[in-house]
Structure 1
């Protein structure tokens, strides 16, 4: 067996990439000719479904059939890795967010993918906010009362998130650090926000840090959980009674989330632009915009591949030193 030098390996890889790009030209011109798969890297019923499925329904008349596949686990890493390893032909897309594209690669000791190098950003669909939610039996109505209760009842409080290394987890660890709770606010990672929310409602855990969604707002309105703070700059129009983290005296917990579309890195430009153009048309629909807003989400009708790519890279640069400073690492 002949061993190739590093230069020979790089040259060979470059020739293969060039051939793939050339041969994909015709396919890109005809795209799409079969159903497109949208991977939501979370369990069914969570916020990802309430964002990705309406997009799929609205874009289907423009791109053809789109089927949604929920691949939950590891805070979104399993589904994200599945798309990163898929053929770069536009038929496997990811509904990613700040957790899957930035936080998980930053915090993993051995990441299965790189959120920037292994993906092409296509379009940011919405911006979102996180919320601190507690079980209604907990005698707290804001973050200050939560801190006081935790310190008076050491080791009794826990908070659920969709996984280690997610944006939810980052906010939880910042809260522990800035409030001085240390071991008095225990992290409980789940395979998705759906199971975590179910355990909160049933009293198995005392709180969650969740993406604001129609389900979370409905459970709050029904008294099955209590929202005590949101991480946005402003109060929610759909639940104006909930104070912001800044109002609670903890502006360092502000966190703006987002969800958007990604494709494997080598996906041809023509295909990426085709998906972005169809998405831009869909996002101009006032009914889709209102549907998102009713869930506490803010649609982004003015996104695009280059703009979205810069946003991801900027967020990576901003969060990397924060993650390092609090020692947030996954196994």
Structure 2
């Protein structure tokens, strides 16, 4: 047997071994994104897809399945084969919070298999020109809101979203009524905030970054366990006496339910390697994200723990689940 024959025979033998065959690139794979093209979730999906193309899969596409606040993307994954050809990138809320918000949710946490996270983000409370310049922090805002109840409102990217529940918690903890103004995404809410049509907004911190330096918007608090690197001068909710509002949201990758361990581990290794690339980390930073890649076991624990934690919060703030 000459060298060429030996290599051909060895390759054929390797293909019969599941563990070795898995190391070869898939022919076609996709990342499902439950949000429109051009948004932050889409941007994260495409950055990772670029790094997985060629190694994880010869063809690696991003398929946008927008609608229903990200739920359509999860449903698309649930219907897909658990062979590694379909991955979902989603914010945590679609998996951990929505079971407490939607009474007829067509999926549960057992319908997806945790792979690993890609990044995480803090939320922030911002105000625009509709609030006096003298308002510098959350306590100032609450005092102003109490004195001006007809103007005491806050926008969010949507009803039942983490920013919405943070706003409800703020009102509950402070005893100051705040009227909620839901939007379909952050963009329209920010436009009304800039125009003074809404006094304040609870939203991911990345939404505010383009406007902070120009002075058009002011951030009064952030939700992370420590001050955000993007706004180090802004105190956290916890620093300002609202520990219950300490919260970050991760963006995680999932495979369909009951995906084999070898498929999960291969996808996790490829995604973690992608997140660690300097250009990916820089791109995430520009969006207001912190690169953050964990393991399948760590993500599975986070899903379980956060799903259990959301129930009491939803009940406490009095949010009425939607159908």
Same fold (TM over 0.5): yes
Contact 2:130–2:197 (CA under 8 A) maintained in structure 1: no
The unaligned stretches of length 5 or more in structure 1 are 1-24
CA distance in 2, matches of 1:80, 1:205: 32
- SS of the residue corresponding to residue 228 of structure 2 reads coil
Distance (whole Å) between structure 2 residues aligned to residue 237 and residue 191 of structure 1: 28
Which runs of 5 or more structure 2 residues have no equivalent in the other structure?
Answer: 1-17
- Structure-2 residue corresponding to 1:162: 157
CA contact (8 A) 1:212 1:296 kept: yes
Q: Which residue is 2:267 aligned to?
A: 275
How many residues of Structure 1 are paired with residues of Structure 2 in the alignment? Answer: 300
**Aligned residue among 305, 313, 319 for 2:304:** 313
TM, length-normalised to structure 2: 0.83
Q: Is the 8 A contact 2:25 2:55 kept in 1?
A: no
**Distance change in 2, residues 1:280/1:173 (3 Å):** same
Residue in structure 2 matching 1:208, options 201, 215, 219: 201
Query: What corresponds to 2:317 in structure 1?
Result: 326
Provide TM-score, normalisation by structure 1.
0.82
- By how many angstroms is 1:265 displaced? 0.7
Are 2:137 and 1:145 equivalent residues in the alignment? no
Task: Report the Cα offset of residue 253 of structure 1.
Answer: 0.9
Give 1:134's match in structure 2, choosing from 127, 140, 146: 127
RMSD: 2.4
Q: How far apart are residue 96 of structure 1 and its match?
A: 1.7
| Cα offsets for 1:237-269 (capped at 9, x unmatched) | 222122211222212111121111012213333
Q: Is the 8 A contact 2:120 2:291 kept in 1?
A: yes
Contact kept, 8 Å, 1:164 with 1:330, in 2: the verdict is no
Q: Distance in 2 between matches of 1:43 and 1:207?
A: 25
1:131, distance to aligned residue in structure 2 (A): 0.6
Question: 1:48: which partner in 2?
Answer: 41
Q: Are the equivalent residues in 1 in contact too, given 2:138–2:220 (CA < 8 A)?
A: yes
Say which SS state the counterpart of residue 275 (structure 1) adopts: helix
Higher Cα Rg, which structure: 2
- Does 1:67 pair with 2:67? no
**Pair 224,86 (structure 1): closer, same or farther in 2 beyond 3 Å:** farther
Superposed, 1:69-108 pairs within 5 Å as 69-108=63-102
Residue equivalent to 1:22: none
Kindly indicate whether residue 168 of structure 2 is the aligned counterpart of residue 177 of structure 1.
no
CA offsets 1:38-91 (integer angstroms, 9 cap, x no match): 233234443323432222222224223333333334332233233223343433
Q: Aligned in 2, Cα 1:223/1:96: closer, same or farther, shift over 3 Å?
A: same
CA 1:65–1:225: 2 relative to 1, 3 Å:
farther
| Cα gap change, 1:218 to 1:326, in 2 (>3 Å) | same
Instruction: Tell whether the 8 Å contact from 1:129 to 1:231 is kept in structure 2 after alignment.
Output: yes
CA distance in 1: counterparts of 2:217 and 2:45, whole angstroms: 25
